Amino acid sequence: MAYPPTARSSAPRQPSVKVILDSGDVQRVVDRMAHQILEKTQGAADTVLLGIPTRGTPLARRLAARISAFEGVAVPVGVLDITLHRDDLRRHASRAVGPTEVPPGGVDGRRVVLVDDVLFSGRTVRAALDALNDLGRPASVQLAVLVDRGHRQLPIRADYVGKNIPTALAESVRVTLAETDGADEVRLHGGNDS
């Protein structure tokens, strides 16, 4: 007896989405990173936080606020625009150059902690190091990221990591923050489930 062929849905499957960190988790991770910075920098002495736009900037400000809440130390915060130092400018549409805000006292001779939301290939951090070179000569440079998803293309690692999320290349990590997106959340977006 022959059976009729089964009907297959022609609609493409939607990519899977998994919430990795919710709002409460993000706050706890930022608190833990602030404590780690305090420990590793002997109380954040002579330390400057530079946020890499877009979401690294509010993260840097949050870290500074938590360090202040924990130890009463005011850590200067700045913004480091990396647009002109990116290595993909020829392949992507032109981007508007954003502001670079140097914290009071500058960066010369100080410990600079670069802050970003996701560490992936390492190319953004490389561009940030080039941009930082234009500002001055820090005593040392460290890196703090909310999420490290792996797949490095350059020999770069973070000194402070909120959450390590092993990913496949086809997956993406999306961070939303209240200051830029209206809510705090980290999601893992997968490829099509087929």
Which amino acid appears at position 115 of this protein?
Answer: V
Q: Which pLDDT belongs to residue 193?
A: 44
User: Any idea what the CATH number is for the domain that residue 79 is in?
Assistant: 3.40.50.2020
Least confident interval from 7-11, 69-73, 142-146, 155-159:
7-11
Determine, yes or no, domain membership for 162.
yes
CA distances from residue 167 to 47, 151, 170, 171 in whole angstroms, order as listed: 32, 8, 8, 6
Residue range of the domain that includes 122: 24-86+100-167
Average pLDDT over residues 22-43: 98
Does 118 fall in a domain? yes
Q: What are 51-79's pLDDT values in tens digits?
A: 999 999 999 999 999 999 999 999 999 99
Q: Is residue 2 part of a domain?
A: no
Report the predicted TM-score, pTM, of the whole model to 2 decimal places.
0.88
Residue 19: inside a domain:
no
Q: Does residue 93 lie within any of the structural domains?
A: no
% the chain with pLDDT above 70: 86
pLDDT of residue 194: 39
Distance CA 31, CA 63 (A): 7
What is the chain's mean pLDDT, rounded? Answer: 90
What pLDDT band is residue 160 in, cutting at 50, 70 and 90?
very high
Query: Rounded CA gap, 105 and 102, in Å?
Result: 8
Residue 6 belongs to some domain of the structure: no
| Integer CA distances (angstroms), 194 to 12, 13, 15, 166, 190, in order | 9, 7, 9, 21, 11
Task: Convert the pLDDT of each residue in 129-149 to its tens digit.
Answer: 999 999 999 999 999 999 999
More confident residue, 57 or 88: 57
For residue 5, being part of any structural domain is answered with no
The set of long-range contacts for 166-173, using a CB threshold of 8 Å and a minimum separation of 24, is 173/20, 173/118, 173/120, 173/147, 173/149
Q: Is the pLDDT of residue 183 over 90?
A: yes
Position with higher pLDDT, 190 vs 74: 74
Summarize pLDDT for 91-121 with one digit per residue, the tens: 665 666 788 999 989 999 999 999 999 999 9
In a domain, 143, yes or no: yes
- Reduce the DSSP state of residue 114 to 3 states and report it: strand
- Please count the structural domains in the chain: 1
What count of other Cβ atoms lies within 10 Å of the Cβ of residue 40?
A: 14
